[in-house]
Amino acid sequence: MTDIFGEDVGPPLGGVFTATQGLKTAWNSPLDERGIVGAAMGIAYAGGRPVCEIQFCDYGFNTIDLLKVAGNQRWAGAGHYSMPIVLMTPSGSGIRGSLYHSHSFESIASRLAGWKIVMPSNPLDAYGLMLSAIADPNPVMVLLPKALLRVRGDKLIPGEPEEEGKLKELIDAPVGDRSRWRPRWPDVQEHFVPLGVGTLVREGSHATVVSYGRTLPLCVQAADQLEKENGWSFDVIDLRSIFPYDWKMISASLMKTGRILIVNEDTEVTNFGEHLLRRVIDEHFYDLLVRPRALMGKHVPGIGLNQVYEKNTVPQLPDIKQAMHELAEEEA
Amino acid sequence: MARAYPSDKIKSPVHLSIGQEAASVGVCAALEPEDVVFGTYRCHALYLAKGGDLKAMIAELYGKVTGCARGKGGSMHLIGTEVGMHGASAVVGTTIANAIGHAYALKYQKKNALVVSFFGDGATEEGVFGESLNFAVLKQLPIIFVCENNQYAIHTHQSRRQGKPNVCARAEAYGIPAERIEHGDVLYLYERIKALAPKVRGGGPHFLEVMTYRWQEHVGPNRDFQLGYRTEDEMHPWVENDQVDRLKHMVDGPRRAKLEEEVEEEIAAAFAFAESSPVPPAEELYADIFKESHS
Ligand SMILES: Cc1ncc(C[n+]2csc(CCOP(=O)(O)OP(=O)(O)O)c2C)c(N)n1
Ligand SMILES: [Mg+2]
Which listed ligand is nearest to B41 at the C-alpha? 1
What length is written for chain B? 295
Is A153 a domain residue? no
CA-to-CA distance for A274 and A272, rounded, in angstroms?
5
Q: What is the CATH number of the domain that holds A313?
A: 3.40.50.920
Q: How far apart are the first and last CA of chain B?
A: 46
Give A177's contacts in chain B (Cβ within 8 Å). 226, 228
- In this structure, are A143 and A227 located in the same domain? no
**Cα atoms in the Cβ-side hemisphere of radius 13 Å centred on A258:** 10
Q: CA-to-CA distance for A57 and A95, rounded, in angstroms?
A: 13
From the CA of A79, how many Å to the nearest CA of chain B? Answer: 30
Using CB atoms within 10 A of its CB, is residue A251 exposed (0-12), middle (13-18) or buried (19+)? middle
Whether residue B107 contacts residue B101, with contact meaning beta carbons closer than 8 Å, is answered with no
Mutation for testing the A interface, residue in B77, B155, B279 having most A CBs under 10 Å: B155
**Which of A204, A198, A253, A255 shows the shortest CA–CA distance to A225?**
A204
CA dist list (Å): B247 to B175, B212, B241: 35, 16, 11
Within this chain, do residues A136 and A204 fall inside the same structural domain, yes or no?
no
Tell me, in angstroms, the distance from the centre of ligand 2 to residue B124's CA.
Answer: 10
At A269, which amino acid appears?
A: V
CATH number for the domain harbouring residue A93? 3.40.50.970
> What b/e readout covers A256-281, taking b as 16+ CB neighbours within 10 angstroms?
bbbbbbbbbbbbbeebbbebbbeebe
User: Do A31 and B126 lie within an 8 Å CB cutoff?
Assistant: yes
Chain A contact for B87, CB < 8 A?
no
Q: What average pLDDT does the segment B253-272 reach?
A: 97
Residues of chain B in contact with residue A53, where contact means CB-CB under 8 angstroms, are none
Tell which residue, A65, A52, A72, A74, has the closest CA to residue A137. A74
Q: B-chain residues within 8 Å CB-CB of A309?
A: 71-72, 280, 284-285
Q: Are both A286 and A205 inside the same structural domain?
A: yes
Say which amino acid occupies B253: G
Cβ contact, residue pair A100, B280, below 8 Å: no
Which DSSP category does B220 fall into? Answer: S
Q: Is residue A136 assigned to a domain?
A: yes
CA distance B183 to B192: 14
B76-123: per-residue pLDDT in tens? Answer: 999 999 999 998 999 999 999 999 999 999 999 999 999 999 999 999
Q: Cβ separation of A12 and B227 shorter than 8 Å?
A: yes
Chain B residues with CB under 8 Å of A100 CB are 76, 89-91
Mutate to test the interface with B, among A306, A312, A319 (most CBs of B within 10 A): A306
Q: How far apart are CA A185 and CA A256, in angstroms?
A: 44
Domain residues for the domain of A60 are 4-148
Considering the entire predicted model, what is its pTM?
Answer: 0.97
The one-character DSSP state at B120 is E
- Tell me how far apart the alpha carbons of residues A117 and A95 are, in angstroms, rounded to a whole number: 22
- Per-chain residues with Cβ under 5 A from ion ligand 2: B 120-122, 150, 152
Mean pLDDT of chain B: 96
Q: Does A288 fall in a domain?
A: yes
Over A258-301, what HEC string results? CCEEEEEEEECCCCHHHHHHHHHHHHHHHHCCCCCEEEEECCCC
Cα–Cα distance, B13 to B216 (Å, whole number): 13
Q: Are A59 and B91 in contact (CB under 8 A)?
A: yes
The verdict on a CB contact (< 8 Å) between B284 and A101 is no
Q: How far apart are CA B82 and CA B292, in angstroms?
A: 21
Beta bridge pairs of residue B213: none
What separation in Å is there between the alpha carbon of B150 and the centre of ligand 2? 5
Alpha helices in A78-165 (DSSP H): 106-109, 123-135
Mean pLDDT of all residues in B254-260: 96
Catalytic site positions of A: 101
Whether residue B224 lies within 8 A of chain A, CB to CB, comes out as: no
Query: Of the candidates B272, B90, B72, B15, which has an alpha carbon nearest to the alpha carbon of residue A307?
Result: B72
> How far, in Å, from the CA of A161 to the mean position of ligand 2?
39
For residue B74, give every residue at least 6 positions away whose Cβ sits within 8 Å of its Cβ, in sequence order, or none: A98, A99, A305, B11, B12, B13, B60, B61, B63
Are residues A131 and A214 both part of a single domain?
no
In a domain, A37, yes or no: yes
The alpha carbon of residue B120 is apart from the nearest alpha carbon of chain A, in Å, by 11
* CB spacing of A96 vs B11 below 8 angstroms: yes
Residue A299 lies in a domain: yes
Of B78, B130, B122, give the one whose Cα is nearest residue B214.
B122
Cβ of B170 under 8 Å from any chain A Cβ?
Answer: no
Determine the residue type at A79: G
Q: What's the CA gap between B176 and B158, in Å, rounded?
A: 22
Question: Which residues are near ligand 1 (CB < 6 Å)?
Answer: A 7, 31, 33, 55, 59; B 42, 90-93, 120-123, 150, 152-154, 218
CB contact under 8 A, A97 and B71: no
Distances (CA, A) of B207 to A43, B26, B98, B201: 35, 15, 16, 14
User: Which bound ligand lies closest to the C-alpha atom of A33?
Assistant: 1
Residues of chain A in contact with residue B89, where contact means CB-CB under 8 angstroms, are 100
CATH fold of B5-286, please? Rossmann fold (3.40.50)
Distance CA A330, CA A96 (A): 35
Nearest by CB to A301, from B154, B229, B289: name it: B289
Judge whether A15 lies within some domain: yes
Q: Does B153 touch chain A (CB under 8 A)?
A: yes
* The predicted structure's pLDDT at residue A175: 78
Number of compact structural domains in chain A = 2
Distance of CA B33 to the CA centre of its chain: 16
B90: nearest CB among A100, A304, A306: A100
In a domain, A168, yes or no: no
Q: Can you tell me whether residue A117 is helix, strand or coil?
A: strand
pLDDT score for B295? 59
Walk along chain A (332 residues) and give the pLDDT tens digit of each residue.
Answer: 479 999 999 988 899 999 999 999 999 999 999 999 999 999 999 999 999 999 999 999 999 999 999 999 999 999 988 899 999 999 999 999 999 999 999 999 999 999 999 999 999 999 999 999 999 999 999 999 999 998 999 999 999 999 988 999 999 988 777 778 899 999 999 999 999 999 999 999 999 999 999 999 999 999 999 999 999 999 999 999 999 999 999 999 999 999 999 999 999 999 999 999 999 999 999 999 999 999 999 999 999 999 999 999 999 999 999 999 999 999 99
CB pairs under 8 A between A and B: 122
Number of Cβ within 10 Å of residue A204's Cβ equals 20
For residue A243, the cross-strand partners are A117
Question: Same domain for A316 and A221?
Answer: yes
Going along chain B, which residue ranges are E strands?
36-40, 85-89, 115-120, 143-149, 152-153, 156-157, 178-181, 206-211
* Cα B114 to averaged position of ligand 2 atoms, centre (Å): 24
What is the spatial distance between Cα A46 and Cα B191, in angstroms, rounded to a whole number?
Answer: 53
Task: Please check whether residues A16 and A122 belong to one and the same domain.
Answer: yes
A161 within domain boundaries: no
Do A138 and A37 belong together in one domain? yes
Number of DSSP helices (H) and strands (E) in chain B, helices first? 10, 8
Q: Do B11 and A305 touch (CB under 8 A)?
A: yes
Q: Can you give the pLDDT at residue A1?
A: 46
Q: Report CA(B15)–ligand 1 centroid distance (Å).
A: 10
B158 interfacial to chain A (CB closer than 8 Å): no
| Spatial distance between the Cα atoms of A170 and A188, rounded to a whole number of angstroms | 13
Report, as an integer, the average pLDDT of B239-259. Answer: 96
10 Å Cβ neighbour count for B188? 15
For ligand 2, the distance from its centroid to the CA atom of residue B169, given in whole angstroms, is 17
Give per-residue burial for B197-208: e unless 16+ CB within 10 Å, then b. Answer: beebbeebbbbb
**Chain segment B157-204, per-residue pLDDT in tens:** 999 999 999 999 999 999 999 999 999 999 999 999 999 999 999 889
**Would the CB atoms of A8 and B155 count as touching at under 8 Å?**
yes
CA distance A47 to chain B (A): 25
Closest residue (by CA) to atom 12 of ligand 1? B153
Tens digit of each residue's pLDDT (9 = 90 or more) over B15-38:
999 999 999 999 999 999 999 999
